[in-house]
Amino acid sequence: MSPHQIVPSLADRGEYIGSESSFYRVLAEAELLSHRGRSKPKQMQRPAPWEALRPNQIFSWDITYLRSSVRGQYFYLYLFLDIFSRKVVGWEIHESESMELSSKLLETICRADKINKNQLHLHSDNGRQMKGATMLVTMQWLGVVPSFSRPSVRNDNPFSESMFKTLKYCPQYPSQPYENIESARAWVATFVSWYNTEHLHSGIKFVTPASKHNNKDIDILNKRDVVYAKAKEKNPNRWSGKTRDWRPIECIKLNNLKRENSSNTTNELKHSC
């Protein structure tokens, strides 16, 4: 019997030894946790790993809700992010979740950025708006390759989750619900402008997403390296080793698989876009 069966069975006999988690802990310490029965244990395969080496190669997208002044009603923010540069490449706010709306936004982004067929991979979670027929047909028509997270695994879509956390936890985020959709759009427009052109992103060596997207980060990071080299030359006693590494990030990995043993090769762990 599993601990989930043991605990209520004991309770029916008027006995309590411990909770399910306590039983599982004891079993783990005794190395007795294993799949029971002849059926295979349930497995959820990780989505295919990809590498972004340049802008407009891999996008991540998701929908998050924004509170309205009417209790129980929300505005929905559709947002597409380039994982290589972390730039917000497109967003819209609507009063409902709709695969038709997300499809139109994707089409607009591809047209504006002149994205060719089979150039872009689009990653998302397993929401119905992400896997709906209209969205899939649009991606097929645009030549966009879909990629989906595993069910109930938030870490498979980390870029969008991190983006929404930055948005909702920044000091300027309104403490009160939005009065109307126009005010929500106005605030998000201001935020996206700041995020793309002013925010120094930690994941890309503290340059702005717009600088990274336009390949201007190399000059910025080279200048920083010169500043540090001069500082070390001027006062070498303050440096115990090398100066800070200001080399640009050349590759961003999505769903990167860690090697489980030394026999795995690089080709088994990645797909080059």
Residue 153 backbone phi and psi in degrees, to 5: -120, 100
* Per-domain boundaries in the chain: 1-34, 50-204
pLDDT of 85 strictly over 70: yes
Q: What pLDDT shows up at residue 129? A: 65
In the predicted structure, residue 260 carries a pLDDT above the cut 60 = no
Q: At 181, is the pLDDT very low, low, confident or very high (cuts 50, 70, 90)? A: very high
DSSP string, 81-130: EETTT--EEEEEEESS--HHHHHHHHHHHHHHTTPPTTS-EEEE-S-HHH
Q: What is the mean pLDDT of residues 53-68?
A: 94
Distance, in Å, from the CA atom of 233 to the CA atom of 68, rounded to the nearest integer, reads: 56
Task: At 225, list the tokens.
Answer: 């390296």
Among the ranges given (34-48, 100-114, 244-258), the one the predictor scored with the smallest mean pLDDT:
34-48
Contacts of 166 (CB under 8 A, 6+ apart): 195, 199
* Fold designation for 50-204: Nucleotidyltransferase; domain 5 (3.30.420)
Q: pLDDT value at position 57?
A: 95
Quickly tell me which residue has 């966009």 as its tokens.
144
- Closest to 205 measured CA to CA, from 216, 189, 221, 219: 221
pLDDT in tens, 148-179: 776 555 555 789 999 999 999 999 999 999 99
- State pTM to two decimals: 0.75
